[in-house]
Amino acid sequence: MIDVADLTEAQAAEELTKLADQITHHDLAYHQNDAPEISDADYDALKRRNLAIEERFPHLIRENSPSMRVGAPRAEQFSAVEHGVPMLSLDNAFSDEDALEFDARIRRFLRLDETPIAYTAEPKIDGLSASLRYEKGILVQGATRGDGRVGEDVTANLRTLKDIPHRLSGSGWPDVIEVRGEVYLGHAEFAALNAAAMEAGDRTYANPRNAAAGSLRQIDSTITAKRPLRFFAYAWGLVSEKFAETQWEALAKLKAWGFQTTPQSTCVQGADGLLAAYAVLERERPNLGYDIDGVVYKVDRLDWQQRLGFVSRAPRWGIARKFPAEQARTVLEAIDLQVGRTGAVTPVARLKPVTVGGVTVTNATLHNADEIARKDLHIGDTVVVQRAGDVIPQVVEAIPELRPAGAAPYEFPTHCPCPLQTPLARETTAGGAETVVRRCTGELACPFQRIEHLKHFVSRRAFDIEGLGEKQLQGFYDEGLIREPADIFTLAERDKVSLKKLKDRERAGETSVANLFAAIETRRTIPLDRFIYGLGIRHIGEQTALVMARGYGTAAEFLAAMDKVAAGDEEAVAELDAMDQIGDAVIQAAAAFFAEDHNRGMVQRLSDQLTVLDAEKPKTDTAVAGKTVVFTGALERMTRDEAKAQAEGLGAKVASSVSKKTDLVVAGPGAGSKLKTATELGIQVMTEDEWLAMVAG
C-alpha cells in the first residue's frame, strides 16, 4: 500500500472512491445484516486510511464521505423514527494521557481553577443503543439509533425485554422523555443462542453485540421475545422538563423509574479519579458476564454539560476510554475448510496454541477467501491474533519479516475437501453479483453436507431424537448404518436381521439400544411443520416451516405443491408467495431443493416411514379470519405476544407495518405513524377494548 504522503492526487481520488464503496459495504454488513465480514480492527483501519487521505487532500472529500456518517441508514423493513434529539456518538481515548488531556480540555473550556471536576465513570456496554420514548410514563415508541437522526421503529421488539418497563414506576418523570441506553446479551446467553443455532444448522453470530443487534432487528417480535436481551439505561434525549442537576442524580432517577443501570458506575473527582476508575473496571471486566469495551467518562454537572456542548458528532463533555484489544503472536499452522449443512465453506485458521487475555486460542475464523487474500496469509506465517469483545478470535495480520523462507501464499482450494472433491462455486446474489461465500455444489452427495444435514434432522427443534446426538450420529454414519434420514427409522428392523447387533457393540448396552429404538419410534409420528423444518432446506427455518405447514395443511399437499414449484408452475409459486413472510429466497431454495432427484428420493423414502400429522388450518369462521391486523401503540389489557397469538388463533394474519393490504389497525395510547398511515389509507381503526369485544363476540 502506498504511503498517504506519497499519493498523487489522481491516486488519492481513486482510492477514496474505492474506500467509500468498501466502507459502505461493511457498514451495511454490520448494521443492516448484523453479519460483519471483517474484524473491527480491519474496519477501523479502512476508516483511518480514508481520513488520512482526506486530511491531505481536503478538496477531494466526497459529499457522502464515510467520515461524515455515524452508523448506517435504517433497513427498509422497519418504519422510520425521527429522534427528538439526535443520538450521537462519543470520541475515543486510548491512554492515560488522552484521559488527562480530556480533563485539561474541559478545564480550559470552562475556565476553571484547580478544584477537581466531578465525573461519572460508567462501563461502556458493548451492545447497540436504543431510544425509548415515554409519554406520561407510558412507553409509546422504541427505536434503534440508525444514522443518529432517524432510527428504526422496533417498538414491539423492545417491549419484549424484561429490563424495559412498559410504565415508569415512582414519580417525577417528565411528561415526555426519550430514555437511552444499551441493548445487550450476556456471555452465557450468547453461548446458548449460538449453540442452539449451530445444532439447528442456522447462522451463528460472531459476538454478543451482533447477536443482540440481530435479535432486536427481527421482523417477528416473537423471535426477539425468545432471546434473553437486556437493557441498561444511561442517558436521555428529548425531555419536556429538566429532571436532574447531575448525571449521577439522573442515573439514580432512571433506576427509581424501573430501569437497570450499570452497578459498576461511579462518581469520581478529577483526573486521578478518571484513571483509578479505568483501572478498577479493567480488573472487573472478566467477571461481569457481559462485554464492555471501555469506560465512558462524563462531566457530572448537567449545567456544565450544557455549556460544553458538542463538536460535530460528539459531545465535549464525555469521552469513551477504550480498552486495548487483547492480542498475541502465534504461528498459522494450517487453514482448514469447514463445510456447513447448506454447503457454505468457511476457512478456519489452525494456530499453534497461544494464550490471549486468559483464554487459549487454537482456531480462528478467517471468514472467506477474500479475507485471506487481503491479509496475504502464508502457511507458517507468524500472525497477530486478537480477542476484542469478540468471542471468536481473529487473525489481525501476518508479520512478513518473520515469514519462513519458501512459504507460498495460501491458495484457496477450488474443490470441496470431501472425498468427492466437488467443485466450489462462488455464490451470486439474486441480482447476479458475486458474493464472498463459496459453496460446495455437491449438496447431499457431499458427505460433509450429508452429516451436517443429518445433525440438523435430529436436532432439538426438528425431529429431536433422544440418544441420537452428534457423536452417535457420526458413529452410525461412519459405519454406513445411517446415511439419510429414512435410515434412522429402519435401523431397528435392520438390526433384527443383522449378525452384528448394535447391543453387542463396544459401549452400547442392551438398554441404551432399546432406549434409542424407543426414542426413534416416538418420532415416527411428527407434526407437519417439524417435518418441513427437518428437511433442512436453505432459508426454511422454524417460522417459515410453520407458515408453510399451516398454508398447505397436509404432507401430501405440501409435497405436491413443492413438485409444482420446482417445475416452475406459476400458480403454485404464486400460492407460496402469498404466504405470510415468504419471499423469493424461500421460493428459490424450495424450487432448487425439490428439483433435485436425489432430494425428492430422500424425502419420499423418509415420508414412507412416517405418519405426518396435518397442521391446524387457520380458523375461517371468525370475525377476523383471513384479515391482516396491525397492533400499534401501547396495549393495556394484554401483551403484544398475547394479542398476536390470539389474532392468529382466530385465523388473522398479524403484520408489523400498515399498508394497503392491512384490514384492521388496533391502536392504543401513543400510536404514531402507523395510526396516521391507517387513517390516510382509510383503514378501519379500533381500540383495544373494541377489539376484545369483537373477538369475544
Active site residues: 124
C-alpha cell at 498: 443383522
Nearer to ligand IVH by C-beta: 234 or 552? 234
Residue nearer to ligand IVH on the CB measure, 315 or 357: 315
Beta bridge partners of 378: 409
Looking at beta carbons only, is 31 or 564 nearer to ligand IVH? 31
Helices 584-595 and 555-566: angle between axes, nearest 10 degrees: 90
Q: Are the CB atoms for 237 and 130 separated by under 8 Å?
A: no
Rounded to a whole number of angstroms, the minimum distance from the CB of residue 88 to ligand IVH is 4
In this complex, which beta carbon is closest to ligand IVH, that of residue 212 or of residue 385? 212
Among 139, 185, 320, 573, binds ligand IVH (CB under 6 A): 320
281 binds ligand IVH (CB under 6 A): no
Does 89 participate in binding ligand IVH (rule CB under 6 A)? yes
Q: Which residues contact 14 (CB under 8 A, 6 or more apart)?
A: none
Question: Does 210 help bind ligand IVH (rule: CB under 6 A)?
Answer: no
Between 125 and 658, CB nearer to ligand IVH: 125
Lookup: cell for 277: 476508575
296 sits near ligand IVH (criterion: CB under 6 A)? yes
Where does this chain touch ligand IVH (CB under 6 A) — which range of 83-91, 104-112, 325-333, 383-391? 83-91
Q: Judging by DSSP bridges, how do beta strands 314-315 and 310-311 pair with one another?
A: antiparallel
Of the listed pieces 86-94, 503-511, 529-537, 680-688, which binds ligand IVH according to CB under 6 A? 86-94
> For the chain, first and last CA: distance in Å?
72
Q: Is the Cβ–Cβ distance between 158 and 217 less than 8 Å?
A: no
Query: Least distance to ligand IVH from the beta carbon of 448, Å?
Result: 40
Question: Least CB distance from residue 196 to ligand IVH, whole Å?
Answer: 27
Residue of the chain from 78, 234, 290, 476 that contacts ligand IVH (CB under 6 A): 234
Query: Binding of ligand IVH at residue 154 (CB under 6 A)?
Result: no
| Contacting residues for 448 by C-beta, under 8 A, at least 6 apart | 339, 416, 417, 418, 440
CB of 182 vs ligand IVH, minimal distance in Å: 5
**88 is a site residue for ligand IVH (CB under 6 A):** yes
CB of 266 to ligand IVH, least distance (A): 12
Residue number with the smallest Cβ distance to ligand IVH: 129
* DSSP 3-state of 307: helix
Between 87 and 356, name the residue whose CB sits nearer to ligand IVH. 87
Q: Least separation, in Å, of the C-beta of 255 and ligand IVH? A: 14
- The distance of closest approach from Cβ of residue 374 to ligand IVH in the complex, given in angstroms and rounded to an integer, is 27
CB of 44 closer than 8 Å to CB of 52: no
| Residue closest to 458 by CA, chosen among 439, 437, 438, 473 | 473
Among 228, 315, 618, 672, binds ligand IVH (CB under 6 A): 315
- Considering the rule CB under 6 A, would residue 261 count as an interface residue with ligand IVH? no
Please choose, out of 88-96, 271-279, 561-569, 591-599, the segment that lies near ligand IVH by the rule CB under 6 A.
Answer: 88-96
Contact 652, 619 (CB under 8 A): no
Question: CA triplet 574, 576, 579: central angle to 5 degrees?
Answer: 110
- How far is Cα 368 from Cα 348, in angstroms, rounded to an integer? 9
Minimum distance, C-beta of residue 214 to ligand IVH, in the bound complex (Å)? 16
Distance in Å, CB of 473 to ligand IVH, minimum: 42
The CB-of-257 to ligand IVH minimum distance in angstroms stands at 17
Contact of 621 with 575, CB cutoff 8 Å: no
In the complex with ligand IVH, which residue's Cβ is closer, 115 or 312? 312
What is the helix, strand, coil percentage profile of the chain, to 5?
40, 25, 35
- By C-beta, is 122 or 153 nearer to ligand IVH? 122
Chain-centroid distance, C-alpha 240: 34
Taking residues 106 to 135 in sequence order and writing x for each that binds ligand IVH by CB under 6 A, - otherwise, the string is ----------------x-xx---x------
Longest dimension (CA), the chain: 93
CB contact set of 297 (below 8 Å; sequence gap of 6+):
93, 99, 102, 119, 120, 121, 274, 277, 318, 319, 321
- Write out the binding residues for ligand IVH, residues 355-414 only, by CB under 6 A: none
Instruction: Indicate the angle between helix axes 584-595 and 597-609, nearest 10 degrees.
Output: 90
**Upper half-sphere CA count for residue 116 (Cβ side, 13 Å):** 12
151 or 485: CB nearest ligand IVH: 151
Q: Which residue stretch of 82-90, 429-437, 596-604, 631-639 sits at the interface with ligand IVH (rule: CB under 6 A)? A: 82-90
Among 90, 332, 383, 671, binds ligand IVH (CB under 6 A): 90
How many residues line the site for ligand IVH (CB under 6 A)? 13
User: By C-beta, is 158 or 351 nearer to ligand IVH?
Assistant: 158
**Cβ contact 464:523 at 8 Å:** yes
**CA nearest to 239, candidates 84, 82, 81, 88:** 84
Residue closer to ligand IVH by CB (options 237, 475) is 237
Characterise 633 by phi-psi region: left (phi > 0), alpha (psi -120 to 50), beta (else). left
Cβ atoms 37, 436 nearer than 8 A? yes
Residue 182 in the binding site for ligand IVH (CB under 6 A): yes
- Record the cell numbers describing residue 430, joined without a space: 439474486
Interstrand relation of 382-387 and 394-398 (parallel, antiparallel or unpaired): antiparallel
Give the residue, chosen from 206, 235, 396, 562, that forms a contact with ligand IVH under the rule CB under 6 A. 235
Least separation in angstroms between residue 36's CB and ligand IVH is 16
d(CA 398, CA 406) in angstroms, rounded, equals 15
Residues engaged in binding ligand IVH (CB under 6 A):
88-90, 122, 124-125, 129, 182, 234-235, 296, 315, 320
